[in-house]
Structure 1
Amino acid sequence: MHISWVTDGKSSPSYMEYGTSPGRYDSTAQGESTSYSYLFYSSGRIHHTVIGPLESNTVYFYRCGGEGPEFQLKTPPTELLVAFAVAGDLGQTGWTKTALDHIDQCKYDVHLLAGDLSYADCIQHHWDTFGELVQPLASARLWMGTQGNHGEESSPLIKYGFQSYNARWKMRYEECGSSLNLYYFEVAGFHVIADLLKVDCSKTPWLILSFHQAMEPLLYAAGVDIVFAGSVHAYERSV
């Protein structure tokens, strides 16, 4: 599992301690860190550390950087049943808090974010405030995101693309051999997200796609079972 956090100090270590009992960390992991600049903004130190292998359906307690508060997370199960929470276009409004409160009340295992996370729209400190807003939930479950149009922070004169999103929300692009912000992962019989060419239906009979703006012909051809898409800012479903 991939854990990310941001610190103010440039010399803070990308080091994690974790275990299955509060305050007792029998495992450690060393990661890496990065930072970025956007016009006059400079980010804090963004740390990414991979921990594991972890037991399924198990609560772990962990601490980042060798100090600070203790967090806990629950890993998803490897067999059915598994519960997904889904949200797109969260932003940072009063409605965001309501949506997060509803999600927090659900006994979910994995959260899929269907694009347009922070709505920073080039105002970089909004990425920081969004991280603070979702930390209580994102630190406790597996959150898997995808990019959206509001994450592409470019203008005719400045080409930053998805620099901010990719620096902060490091998904499984490299592990999946993708250079296009596409990735996939498997959990409890489900093949989730975005690499339609690497589906083994005998292993993962359910195929779920989480996009910001879906492309219907491709989905029909791939035999996708469930699609979660954002962008429209409305709720609609078909059965």
Structure 2
Amino acid sequence: MSTESFGNRRKFLKLGASVPVISLAAACGSENNPQLASNPNPSPTQPTETPGVGNPVTPPNVVVPASHPPRGVHAALFNDASTSRALCWFTDGLDCPATEIQWGPVPAGMSLTDAKNALANPLPNSAMASTTQTTGLENQTHKVVVNGIDPDQAFRYRVGSSESGWSEVFVIDPTPKADETWTMIHFGDHGIGELPQRLTAEIMKPQHQHDLLLLAGDLCYADGNQPIWDTWFNQNQALLATTTTMAVPGNHENKDNVAADVPLLPLKDYAFNNRFNQPGEVSFFSFDYNRVHFFGFTGGAFLEDGKILKELATLEADLAVAAVRRALGQIDFIVVFQHYTIWTDQEGRAPGNPTLIAVEDQILLRYGVDLVLCGHDHVYQRSKPMVLGQANPLGYIQVMTGTGGQSIREFEPNISAWSEKHFVGLGFSKYTISPGKIISQYFGTPPISDEDRSRVVHESLDSNFELIDEFEITPRPLRLAKSFVKPPRTETELAQAHDWPAIYAHTLARNCAHEPAAPRGFLHKYQRAYPNLMG
């Protein structure tokens, strides 16, 4: 791979794609030595004569360590998917010198070795990063948005500074053109154990090469233990630094804020918001990737920030515009992704949250959303097109892929009529998108042991990932697409149309039922006010 050229703009496979990212040391790589980061092929030390000794000796290399080596580098979309990227990384301590990104294209014919050699092939552009303290730690988070990327060439970059130390040079494939086929991977509920790293290694294999990665919440399970975030980013840097990644928070991210015991106050220091560089409000946002429009949001996972009504109003306004654009032929599909499932058959989790589901489901139907991608429940389950849990060709298909490796769960004995396919094990969903078509595939490996699938089942580490499920969707007919063009309701109108105290109460009850550490005082307050709702 080191001699492969970049003559073909879509031929390049991600750096390190054939190497499992199990080792923290390997994930950090040459970041700890700015000289090695700048020159990955340094000349060997020449032998020197030592006075009084007849034979030449080789003195040891003297390495000046980087003062603040960048780590946990990851890339996301921010503005135009073809010409911009948002980068984020971390350094230890609160005294890191100012850092930047150096970047440029990978010209046709440049080898991988040359692309990674910033000393011999300097990166022509730079931009300074903003710096804030990392949530809950005496470390720093660095963010920068790069615009003006050449859409026809791979994007190579490194982050840091000559004073703090440089990361290695990473390469991201160019965004495919609108008339080209591209691929996307989606899963949630990852973690830092053996199974999550097995999954990461699998999706980095050449046969699963992908252009976009969607993470459906519950990423590292720090649960307030902030250094676990660093472990997760370090373990997955080889993937996240070379793959355009968008993430939404889950209920375990809700535990990672500095005031989790103060319900319904605007908490501005969520670790998730600090550690990701995404558009909008970081935890809810929208973007286009070619002819697919995406909206990602918390689905109530961050209920205590008091923004769930604002999120749903933003969802409605965004989908209203997307429905118009689809009717005009500007996009083919509308996709919503979130952590919480809307409907589920995981054991002990159904029904989910009827009051919030009723509001969200109605919005999804109103504007004809095509796919809802989620996680949360540690199983795979794909629905038929449905509305309010009933099969309906006008509805959306939910793809629940909570099989990122944190644990393996079971299903209820009786599977609902809306369910099309379900699977217990470790795996991920892969989507191949071309103009007018999405082919969805689920690759998984089942646990060998049936004794307790809720625990980590290490036997599955030796199993091959196989194709478990596959389906295809095409754009809605024009006449039907036009029927979904409707004016959006305002936040005030939505507030007046629903019993929001009850929705807050029931959503928090769901969150508390799934996470015992959630704030119980607030729950008890609404249990008294809405005893029938709380059951």
TM-score for the superposition, normalised by structure 2: 0.41
Cα distance in 2 for residues equivalent to 1:104 and 1:229: 21
Cα distance in 2 for residues equivalent to 1:134 and 1:62: 17
Structure 1 gaps, min length 5 = 174-178
Give the match for residue 213 of structure 2.
111
Give the match for residue 339 of structure 2.
212
Shift in alpha-carbon separation, 1:118–1:230, aligned structure 2, 3 A: same
Shift in alpha-carbon separation, 1:219–1:51, aligned structure 2, 3 A: same
Q: 1:221 aligns with which of 329, 342, 366?
A: 366
Asked whether the 8 Å contact 1:110–1:143 carries over to 2, the reply is yes
> 1:116-135 counterparts in 2 under 5 A?
116-135=218-237
Cα distance in 1 for residues equivalent to 2:214 and 2:167: 28
Give the partner amino acid of 1:55.
D
Give the match for residue 238 of structure 2.
136
What are the Cα deviations for residues 78-102 of structure 1, in whole angstroms up to 9, with x where unaligned?
A: 3142210111111112110121112
Q: CA deviation at 1:43?
A: 4.1
Give the match for residue 156 of structure 2.
61
Give the SS at the match of 1:130.
helix
Cα distance in 1 for residues equivalent to 2:320 and 2:285: 11
Give the match for residue 171 of structure 2.
72
Give the SS at the match of 1:218.
helix
Give the match for residue 102 of structure 1.
202
Q: 1:15 aligns with which of 87, 92, 100?
A: 100
Higher helix share: 2
TM-score for the superposition, normalised by structure 1: 0.88
Cα distance in 1 for residues equivalent to 2:144 and 2:102: 11
Cα distance in 2 for residues equivalent to 1:157 and 1:44: 25
Give the partner amino acid of 2:231.
T
How many percent identity over aligned positions? 24
Q: 1:86 aligns with which of 186, 193, 213?
A: 186
Cα distance in 1 for residues equivalent to 2:369 and 2:149: 29
Cα distance in 1 for residues equivalent to 2:100 and 2:254: 30
> 1:30-41 counterparts in 2 under 5 A?
30-38=128-136
Cα distance in 2 for residues equivalent to 1:64 and 1:94: 29
Cα distance in 2 for residues equivalent to 1:85 and 1:237: 15
Runs of 4 or more off by more than 6 Å in structure 1?
Answer: none
> 1:159-198 counterparts in 2 under 5 A?
163-173=270-280, 179=281, 181-194=283-296, 195-198=318-321
Cα distance in 2 for residues equivalent to 1:103 and 1:20: 25
Number of corresponding residues? 231
Give the partner amino acid of 2:295.
I
Pick the structure with greater CA Rg.
Answer: 2
Q: CA deviation at 1:157?
A: 5.7
Q: CA deviation at 1:104?
A: 0.8
Q: CA deviation at 1:198?
A: 3.5
Asked whether the 8 Å contact 1:32–1:47 carries over to 2, the reply is yes
Q: CA deviation at 1:73?
A: 1.5
Cα distance in 1 for residues equivalent to 2:361 and 2:203: 28
Shift in alpha-carbon separation, 1:133–1:43, aligned structure 2, 3 A: farther
Cα distance in 2 for residues equivalent to 1:26 and 1:212: 39
Q: CA deviation at 1:37?
A: 4.5
Give the match for residue 474 of structure 2.
none
Cα distance in 2 for residues equivalent to 1:205 and 1:131: 33
Give the match for residue 176 of structure 1.
none
Deviates more, 1:63-72 or 1:102-111: 63-72
Asked whether the 8 Å contact 1:114–1:147 carries over to 2, the reply is yes
Deviates more, 1:111-120 or 1:16-25: 16-25
Shift in alpha-carbon separation, 1:65–1:76, aligned structure 2, 3 A: same
Give the match for residue 26 of structure 1.
124
Cα distance in 2 for residues equivalent to 1:114 and 1:92: 16
Shift in alpha-carbon separation, 1:180–1:44, aligned structure 2, 3 A: closer
Structure 2 gaps, min length 5 = 1-84, 107-114, 297-317, 343-359, 385-535
